[in-house]
Structure 1
């Protein structure tokens, strides 16, 4: 099979046969039945909004199992998975080493509400291999980690205002569910019902990659800004790569104004490298937040900083933060097993090279056919964008109408056994479990789907 695929994709993607037409839709009978039932229990039938498939034909797939880079739904459909539970599964589904470690630990209990040696083991693995944190605190989600980091920044500086960027997502805490108002530098406007206007007024929202805007913000709110928070590599609203010089500028202006720089690395942490976007840009944030990968598929978040800053967290300091399940042994075990694999020599080089080969072939195909389509990528993260722009550096650069093309592409890929996250604004992930065979199959499916989108 692999040899025949290699012959088909020998480097000249322009010669790939044109797709002959749409494939029949996969069966969703059981998923549809489960969805109808779930709507009687959950708002919208789901426990996180994007899972409802509202932007891609509206009947979510109910997944029954995963193994390696594959998932299976309730109707028995098999897919090569590039969602990876939205990023945590860098080693693929049902990884044997994670499963064995978790099973071993579960024999002794699942949660104690007390310290365990496993917390120390995972913390040591992180801190010894990450020059950007000296002390850390585990939480149970990325949202919780970011929320705690914001509180820590305010407690450390004695200031109230937070500066964030339009197009960056930092979870669903009230302070950060805000969007830009009118004008270059504005107080945020709530982006969700239930968030008091007074909360949003403590958050300043400015455009990404705009030096003038951040200079103006610091001039207007001098000595009031506790922290600037940014996704080191924004990957929640497309993959919006920032200029390296701009990221270093943020570090400089924060230092000059005695404000903290917070890197939200919930997606990029341990994904673009063991030290995440901070190492990618060669920059030292004051506080870093992590999630997803450090739990190996279980709910874990984490924030960390220098010992000086972390000394302000209770019980040592006055900034309160706690959690019943924080540092629970099962999640710690999954994290230890995951990060041990990631810390092995050559892991990221192999994964990143595999990803770059995959996306480069797709881009060559689209370019050869003159399709208005770009694949943006960093590390093992990729994003499909229906655009002819070589750079997308702000949310405003994304053409909302292009999501109709993604809708068609998503459906055609499902019908060919390829699973992407059900939103054109979401990124995809390659895992160590994806082999050349699966990646070649996926490329062929993507080529066919693109031909249908552009009706070649």
Structure 2
């Protein structure tokens, strides 16, 4: 495929935008080459500035669960925009989507809307600290909760030490209150609780990880976290920015049967608009201003365009729960097809899948945490990524990102994708 205009646009963007992009993964640094600039999208397809049509397995990193430019969402935004784009004042639509979301998700009484997943997770941690009166938070190596200072922490010499900043600009004073544990290792969490008995406000976790590839929680892992939080008086925060309203109407809580204390949302809840949210029971949410002392605010929170898009999206998912089964069946079909082809060509790999999230890891090691995810052969992934791109298939440009299917994908699209893997597999 030809990407002349994309290359020219990227060269121009680099003059005025750091790295030429407004979010680092878009720069193709981990796979090499020049990022593709998109002109438009519809259904399961992206159309780039060079006129190429690409089958999309990113879905804007999750929210386009029903496909791009979905008519009910576009119509809702268009009609709302005619009445104004922002008021900085309450609207009825905010209450309508809040009522619907609360009815769909287990264990929440109230929800507050913000403008991104990062903001939702940041606010959830502040609320947990304010509610418990404690400072420390446990996160897991490889889980991403946005770019707030408290989350840009990696493990030191081991996964159970105090964190050290993973980015310049993150103060060490912030890092000391973030404790690192290992995903799928409840003992690592227990050790942290024993060493910091009355200091831990919360655990924050992606219940199904999506930022080290798709990684599923092993049996008993999340149950163990719930028990530890109950034992030590800490809160369990589920970061469902990826999984919320994607895996089921009630997200990972519904699918896994685990009760979280605070849940964060993004992606799907905004129908593709910049939206996040966090939600909990009354006794926790009532600690937020203006009812309580924990401050959180935002001029664009509850923006009418974003609320109308989210309401249209959630309404359709609520009324058509069969969408989740359809997505899961398509993802399973893709999983089996890719596995069959890679096995035929003798390419070492692991495929992880949950609902409509899936990832391919080029390793012989079972992928169950960040360290095992890092065993993947990145050179093989680069060849795979660019080979698939040349066949007209757009995958996440990183071996550490989940793919997201949308329900506009047809089985013809899936067969084309599987056949593309067959074409490029000999080069892997």
Q: Would you call these one fold, judging by a TM-score over 0.5?
A: yes
- Matches of 1:150 and 1:384 in 2, distance apart? 32
- Describe how 1:67-82 pairs up with structure 2 within 5 A: 67-82=42-57
> Equivalent residue of 1:40, what SS?
helix
Do the aligned partners of 2:363 and 2:376 also contact (CA within 8 Å) in 1?
A: no
Q: Does 1:104 align with 2:97?
A: no
- Describe how 1:281-296 pairs up with structure 2 within 5 A: 281-296=256-271
Segment drifting more, 43-52 vs 275-284: 275-284
One of 309, 312, 316 as aligned partner of 1:334: 309
Q: Does 1:423 align with 2:398?
A: yes
- Matches of 1:242 and 1:294 in 2, distance apart? 23
Pairwise CA distance, 1:107: 1.2
Pairwise CA distance, 1:244: 2.9
Q: Does 1:402 align with 2:402?
A: no
Segment drifting more, 39-48 vs 380-389: 380-389
- Per-residue deviation, residues 137-193 of structure 1 (Å, max 9, x unmatched): 000000000000000000000000001111111100001110111235211110011
> Equivalent residue of 2:203, what SS?
strand
- Matches of 1:424 and 1:168 in 2, distance apart? 14
What do you get for the CA RMSD once the two structures are aligned? Answer: 1.1
One of 335, 339, 352 as aligned partner of 2:328: 352
- Per-residue deviation, residues 270-308 of structure 1 (Å, max 9, x unmatched): 111111111121011000000011111100000000000
- Matches of 1:207 and 1:155 in 2, distance apart? 26
Residue 146 of structure 1 aligns with which residue?
121
> Equivalent residue of 2:193, what SS?
helix
Do the aligned partners of 1:363 and 1:375 also contact (CA within 8 Å) in 2?
A: yes
Unaligned runs of 5+ in 2: none
- Matches of 1:224 and 1:118 in 2, distance apart? 39
Residue 16 of structure 1 aligns with which residue?
none
- Matches of 2:78 and 2:125 in 1, distance apart? 35
Pairwise CA distance, 1:269: 0.7
Do the aligned partners of 2:141 and 2:159 also contact (CA within 8 Å) in 1?
A: no
Do the aligned partners of 1:244 and 1:281 also contact (CA within 8 Å) in 2?
A: no
- Matches of 1:450 and 1:108 in 2, distance apart? 52
1:124–1:171: structure 2 CA closer, same or farther, 3 Å change rule?
Answer: same
Pairwise CA distance, 1:400: 4.7
- Matches of 1:151 and 1:246 in 2, distance apart? 25
Pairwise CA distance, 1:27: 1.3
Residue 19 of structure 1 aligns with which residue?
none
One of 77, 88, 94 as aligned partner of 1:119: 94
- Per-residue deviation, residues 26-64 of structure 1 (Å, max 9, x unmatched): 212111111111011111011000111112223111110
Pairwise CA distance, 1:401: 5.6
Q: Does 1:215 align with 2:215?
A: no
Residue 18 of structure 2 aligns with which residue?
43
One of 170, 195, 220 as aligned partner of 2:145: 170
Residue 368 of structure 1 aligns with which residue?
344
One of 202, 205, 220 as aligned partner of 1:230: 205
Residue 190 of structure 1 aligns with which residue?
165
Residue 12 of structure 1 aligns with which residue?
none
> Equivalent residue of 1:421, what SS?
coil
Instruction: Name which one, 1 or 2, has greater alpha-carbon Rg.
Output: 1
Do the aligned partners of 2:152 and 2:170 also contact (CA within 8 Å) in 1?
A: yes
Residue 377 of structure 1 aligns with which residue?
353
Q: Structure 2 length normalisation: TM-score?
A: 0.98
Pairwise CA distance, 1:388: 2.2
1:243–1:220: structure 2 CA closer, same or farther, 3 Å change rule?
Answer: same
- Per-residue deviation, residues 172-228 of structure 1 (Å, max 9, x unmatched): 000111011123521111001100011000111111122221111111001000001
Q: How many residue pairs align between the two structures?
A: 427
Do the aligned partners of 2:102 and 2:110 also contact (CA within 8 Å) in 1?
A: yes
> Equivalent residue of 1:187, what SS?
coil
Do the aligned partners of 1:241 and 1:392 also contact (CA within 8 Å) in 2?
A: no
- Per-residue deviation, residues 303-336 of structure 1 (Å, max 9, x unmatched): 0000000000000000000011101111011101
Q: Does 1:447 align with 2:398?
A: no
